Structure 1
Amino acid sequence: MIHRRHALGLLAAASILPSKGFADIAPMNSEIREGLAQHFRDEGTRGTFVGYKVDDYLIIASDTERSGEGRLPASTFKIPNSLIAIETGVVQDPDKDVFKWDGIKRANEAWNSDHTLRSAIAVSAFPVYQEIARRIGEERMQKYVNLFEYGNRNIGGGIDTFWVSGELRIDPVQQVDFVDRLRRGVLPVSKRSQELVRDILPVTQVGDAVIRAKTGLTDREHGSLGWLVGWAEKGSVQTVFALNMDCPEPRHVADRMTLAQACLRDIGAI
């Protein structure tokens, strides 16, 4: 696969993927809507939004620069981490396998308890996913990150921290490509693994639409970068999207979903 490096200039091409998807679209099937960027400015921050309208084979972005810039994935990496955990057998059942709390009190109270994979992704339990990554191990983790063609594929910086403070980088366009392959079930892992991960993704109901998406947030040392990646379903209409934004103030953390919904409405996805 050749990933697009400069915003919407080049699109990923993947002849191995069946049927048309994000990675098969010609560059003319993309557009910039600068009005989307206004949502971020209205909230006193900077960010980017990329949406892929599946039925129209159309990619819409808020800008031509940030949409193609690679950044730490933070907790959005819990999506591939979950896939790898199930595929390798580190997790057999996302509702029955229990990760015991290590007894260390953390500021996020929801992390201070035992978790299954489903409950861990719901509260974005970092310690659980650190343990999962350690059990997967560096060799297998690298293998699957390569197979997924995930971002820059660099897991340097510690097996249990590389996605929050290490060398891994992914841009919004690549996020949409990866999530779209998961949505379609064409990633190079079993159908079961993909079905289970699609099922455990957090769900937000918005009127008659459903958003299945994962948040991400880096610490201040690494830029307080907020992510939301996933897809929206409204009837038979599906739209894959990725948003990232600077979160200099606590209120901006909640704005990830608010701004994603505003952008999705603007492009007729919800």
Structure 2
Amino acid sequence: MIHRRHALGLLAAASLMPSHALAKVSEQRSELRIDLMRRFFELGTTGTFVAYKVDDYLFISSDKVRATQAQLPASTFKIPNSIIALETGVVKDPDKDVFKWDGVKRAIEPWNQDHTLRSAIAASAVPVYQEIARRIGPERMQKYVDLFEYGNRDIGGGIDQFWLTGNLRIDPMQQIEFVDKLRRGVLPVSKRSQELTRDILPVTKVGNAIIRAKTGLLGAEQGKPSLGWLVGWAEAGSQQTVFAMNMDCKEPAHIAARMNVVQQCLGDIVAI
């Protein structure tokens, strides 16, 4: 097992290896690919891309600094929130349990309707997941965030706000570690909760690859860019690559470009 403290030391030497129970230390390799930064520069912005090529035991990063900078997870927290909802019974069936629209008209039209867990994660419906978090409650939420070793584990700032404007922080390396445990089904919860969460994750098909991933977007403060996330994994035949990307979204086009940037970066390191 490679420990995170060891990983940060390797980063100082231009390497990337997060804490991962995936292979023996002697089998792990890392690679710094600053050429990947051009994908952000071409858009007129900055960001970071981190990936783990499962079959090759290879970690790849576009940089040494931003890859370890912790940020609010925004809607990427819908992944653990879904697992916890299923594990606690707040949601018993992701296709049948319905969350009724509260009647408040919001700017994002797909939020203004009833949702199941599957449709809510597809629409990234924040109000639904806020209600889910309230039903889970602070005690159970803290328990599972601790069990998942998710980011800094701090759910301060409100049970329905801590991943949006509160105290929770996670960096791309930690995102990869968490998502890969879900991919492998080794989180400390039932197999069923993990299988159902993997099944409801939004899917994008590109070439011979299937990408299962969740976006996240922090609202822009006046005069400041927002932060856009995309985390998940790509399956191309038997080859799987786990990734985490975040970038400064300085204009609406950047928000829409998140998946394209990830596809480009994946194409630079694997055949998709």
TM-score when scaled to structure 2?
Answer: 0.93
1:39 counterpart = 2:39: yes
Equivalent residues, number: 264
* Aligned counterparts of 2:271 and 2:162: Cα–Cα separation in 1: 33
Shift of 1:268: 1.0
> SS at the partner of 1:227?
strand
User: Aligned runs of 1:241-256 on 2, under 5 Å?
Assistant: 241-256=243-258
Conserved? CA contact 1:6–1:64, under 8 Å: no
Conserved? CA contact 1:11–1:27, under 8 Å: no
1:113-149 Cα offsets, whole Å, 9 max, x none, are 0000000000100000000000000000000000000
Structure 1 residue runs without a partner (length 5+)? none
1:129 counterpart = 2:129: yes
1:104 counterpart = 2:104: yes
Conserved? CA contact 2:227–2:249, under 8 Å: yes
User: Aligned runs of 1:1-270 on 2, under 5 Å?
Assistant: 2-4=3-5, 6=8, 9=11, 11-13=17-19, 17=21, 20=22, 25=25, 29-221=29-221, 223-270=225-272
Shift of 1:242: 0.3
Conserved? CA contact 1:32–1:62, under 8 Å: yes
Shift of 1:255: 1.1
* Aligned counterparts of 1:99 and 1:47: Cα–Cα separation in 2: 35
Shift of 1:6: 3.8
* Aligned counterparts of 2:177 and 2:26: Cα–Cα separation in 1: 14
> SS at the partner of 1:264?
helix
Conserved? CA contact 1:53–1:269, under 8 Å: no
> SS at the partner of 2:4?
coil
CA RMSD of aligned residues (A): 1.8
* Aligned counterparts of 1:77 and 1:7: Cα–Cα separation in 2: 27
> SS at the partner of 1:213?
strand
Conserved? CA contact 2:225–2:251, under 8 Å: no
Shift of 1:3: 2.9
Instruction: Decide whether aligned partners of structure 1 residues 65 and 218 sit closer, same or farther in structure 2, where only a CA change above 3 A counts.
Output: same
* Aligned counterparts of 2:204 and 2:69: Cα–Cα separation in 1: 27
Shift of 1:11: 3.8
Conserved? CA contact 1:6–1:65, under 8 Å: no
Shift of 1:2: 4.4
* Aligned counterparts of 1:137 and 1:253: Cα–Cα separation in 2: 31
1:86-125 Cα offsets, whole Å, 9 max, x none, are 0000000000000000000000000000000000000100
* Aligned counterparts of 2:263 and 2:43: Cα–Cα separation in 1: 14
Conserved? CA contact 2:50–2:60, under 8 Å: yes
